[in-house]
Amino acid sequence: MRKVYIEHITKYSYSSAVRYHANQIMLYPISSKFQKINSHVLEISTAPQITMHQDFFGNTIGTFNIINHHSEMIVKSILDVTISSLPIPINEEAPKTQWQSVAELKGDVSFFEYLQQSEEFYFSEIESILPKNYIDMSPLDVCIHLSEYVYKGFTYKKGITNVDTSLSEVWELKAGVCQDFTTFLLYLNRLIGIPSRYVSGYICPKENSDFRGVGATHAWVEAYIPKLGWIGIDPTNNCLISDNHVKLSVGRHYKDCSPLKGVYSGDSNDQLMVSVKINDKKYFNNSESEEMLPANNTNVLEIITNSFAKHQEILIQQQQQQQQQ
């Protein structure tokens, strides 16, 4: 069991004042028996009123508007959370029986969204990646094998991809960040019929660890294995999820889990800076100007000329999601 404190700051600076800013935040951590939320403080510049609801996937979403002119927007999330080690997943059924159970999930509407590919991409190399007679292995062992393939076959490199980079581009580059590693493993898992979902959160390294993805939000995969449930696998660090990860939200892909997105009205260029600090103390040594780094591979805000129309579209989507609950 570990207790960690997380400070997540997102800062947008604008070259000229903007207004009519409509935003959606997904910074509310998921509570479970292995992740206890002791406290959570959310601070937003201009202190707007936040309206909250749950989406189709069970995530808590906040929406807020900033009407007046402003040249910057800062969102600060401070989290106190206790995370416990997850038990080692063991299914003693024969692999053939497990794969039969996996095949039956295709007829379960609960898993429909997690079996659909997010984009078309022909990947003939899957046969050479999978071990021969892989069905003699358990579904979880195959997922771990695919995760190791992504981990070893892709180079972790910042700044060469963004949220709109396609699977084919990632495959050509053989490089990217946690979002790209996660998206590719999602594709591989779904290709062999294992329901899988995208997870957004934080990685909380222990002392002397060499985890990749520290200093920003992190991403990993959860695969559904019958009799075991959702099992977290981090292809960026080639490990199963235990007490080194804090989960914020889940969905089909990145766009379902974006921590912050929105629209504004104005003729302006924006600069995004992000800082994520994690420690075992209740305070942070705030030297924001030194610690915050440009988030070059994140594109979550959109400049528009008719922000009211776009905001109405966002509200309609939210209402439709609530009606599906």
Residue 90 falls within a domain, yes or no?
Answer: no
According to the model, what pLDDT value does residue 280 have? Answer: 81
What beta strand segments (E) does the chain contain? 2-25, 35-44, 51-54, 60-66, 70-83, 155-156, 175-176, 196-203, 218-225, 229-234, 239-240, 245-251, 260-265, 270-279, 293-294, 301-304
125 and 214 share a domain?
A: yes
Q: Mapping DSSP to helix (H, G, I), strand (E, B) and coil, where does residue 146 land? A: helix
Residue 88 falls within a domain, yes or no?
Answer: no
CATH assignment at residue 185: 3.10.620.30
234 and 265 share a domain?
A: no
Is the separation of the CB atoms in 183 and 273 below 8 Å?
Answer: no
268 and 202 share a domain?
A: no
24 and 124 share a domain?
A: no
Residue 254 falls within a domain, yes or no?
Answer: no
99 and 238 share a domain?
A: yes
CATH assignment at residue 269: 2.60.40.2250
**Structural domain of 41:** 2-83+260-323
According to the model, what pLDDT value does residue 149 have? Answer: 96
Overall number of domains in the chain: 2
According to the model, what pLDDT value does residue 248 have? Answer: 97
76 and 109 share a domain?
A: no
pLDDT along the chain (325 residues), means of 10: 94 92 95 95 94 95 95 95 93 96 96 93 87 93 97 95 92 95 96 97 85 90 97 97 95 95 88 89 59 48 40 44 41
Q: What is the largest CA-CA distance in the chain?
A: 63
Residue 193 falls within a domain, yes or no?
Answer: yes
Residue 255 falls within a domain, yes or no?
Answer: no
125 and 60 share a domain?
A: no
Residue 110 falls within a domain, yes or no?
Answer: yes
Residue 251 falls within a domain, yes or no?
Answer: no
- What is the C-alpha separation between 78 and 66, in angstroms, rounded? 21
